[in-house]
Structure 1
Amino acid sequence: MKKRGAFDLRSSADLRQKIDPDTLETFKEFPPPQVYPAGTELFEQGSVPQEVWAISHGFVKLVFLHQDAKEMIVALRSPGWVLGAAAVVLANPSPVTATTLTPCRLKRISSGHFLRLLQTDLRFSWYLSLVYSREVLEQIVRTAEQSMLPARLRLEMLLGQFISSLRSPHSKGSIRFELPLRNWEIAQLLGVTPEHLSRILCELTKEGIIRRAKGWILVERPEKLRHGRA
């Protein structure tokens, strides 16, 4: 019996890296991106999106609202992701609300135009297949991460996602950015309590890896973040 190869969960960030947002620039049907401030709602849970959105820059959060009015962040979406497409294709209400987490550059296209493009442009259909295949894999890996990887490593990978979106791959040195998530939201994404998250942040601070001040995080030693280039 052939021995199974082990899958390194710590390298799962590569799934996100391979979605190239510049590919969208080749589809002339998508208009040039526009800038949207943080907190802009793109589509709402329970309604069929009238438009499909493609992220060129920034982060969008997908939030599920439970019937008891509790919110849960289901996922973060970064450049290269296409939002609302699944609900449009199936003509089903979206199970989540999509809201810009940071200032974003987004392309948008009407649902009708999107469906015509999907049916007539083979290159675009293939690109969307890649995007959603990676989403399926990412969801599987994320479920495994919650069970198998320590919370600190998951936090370091999350910080790495923000770092990689803010600077070029070859730049070095410290980086300062405003964390767009509140502590309880980060704790939700990591599957830990806010108290445990606070302990992890204190550890990183004591080790000189990060410094915090008034909502800002200065990552003093990015190279010390394990698998930081998420």
Structure 2
Amino acid sequence: MRYKLPLFQISEMENCKPNDFFYTFFKEHEDELVGCGPSQPYPSGTEIYREDALAEVVYLIERGIIKVSRIDLNGKETIVGLRSRHWLLAAPTVFLGTSYLYTATTVTPCHLRPITAKCFFHVLKTNEAFSREMYRLLSQEVISNLRKVEEVSCMSANDRVMQFLRQLDAELSPNKSQAHDLFQIPLKQYELAQIVGVSPEHLCRVVKELEQEGIVTGTKRMLTIRSSSLRQR
């Protein structure tokens, strides 16, 4: 049997609080760093950069979720991961001096801070604390990739779906009113299937079970989650 690897990757997945070092660093030094732009809002569905373009900018995600994907010659999109707040988007690619390997698109409304490659390298060379945090970030990604393999062996597809929904709920909760119990998953079902590493058919079966439990409602294009039911499960 061929297994698919789960692709979801946000701060909560590492069982630790999001590290706001980069957010604080650039906010405090934005006026003195040439090439550090102000935080800018982006609506959902905005393409931040496209694969194969020269990687000249790193983006600090201050709010929201970014989808990282690859489009093949036939136009089929394959999602390779999600990134969320406090992540330095495209940092490894800029560090290597190559073209962007993937296309980055906002899944939810986002606030991103652009940092030019020149500014990024300057800070890496001159600030020890920044360099240390950059090493930590890259190490975290390596460990996360290893955990993807572990999850396939140790977690059922149903458990991976539930883990994803809980993490997404936690990620989006700061942006939704406490008075509202419902929120929409900003992904189509086939995208969700790719991210958690299950077939679309199996995901449909899982969704039907969750509908019977009152946790989700919706269509193939968009699912709605009831947070209170999700947290009680």
Alignment of 1:1-230 (within 5 A): 13-15=12-14, 17-21=16-20, 23-27=22-26, 28-29=29-30, 30-167=36-173, 175-212=181-218, 215-219=222-226, 220-225=228-233
**Which runs of no fewer than 5 residues in structure 2 stay unpaired?**
1-10, 31-35
- 1:7 aligned partner: none
- 2:6 aligned partner: none
For each residue in 1:203-229, what CA deviation from the matched residue of structure 2 results, as whole angstroms up to 9, or x when unmatched?
A: 01112233337835132413235xxxx
Distance 1:140 1:53 in 2: 25
- How many residue pairs match? The answer is 212
* Counterparts in 2 of 1:129 and 1:106: CA distance versus 1, 3 Å: same
Deviation at 1:107, TM superposition (A): 0.9
Q: Identity percentage over the alignment?
A: 33
The one-letter amino acid paired with 2:73 is Q
Residue pair 1:53, 1:107 contacting (<8 A) in 2 also: yes
**Could you say what secondary structure the match of 1:167 adopts?**
helix
Q: TM-score, normalised by structure 2?
A: 0.81
4+ runs deviating over 4 angstroms: 171-174
Q: CA RMSD in A?
A: 2.4
Residue pair 1:63, 1:71 contacting (<8 A) in 2 also: yes
Q: TM-score, normalised by structure 1?
A: 0.82
Residue pair 1:176, 1:216 contacting (<8 A) in 2 also: no
Distance 1:163 1:127 in 2: 27
* Counterparts in 2 of 1:194 and 1:47: CA distance versus 1, 3 Å: same
* Counterparts in 2 of 1:151 and 1:13: CA distance versus 1, 3 Å: farther
Residue pair 1:46, 1:96 contacting (<8 A) in 2 also: yes
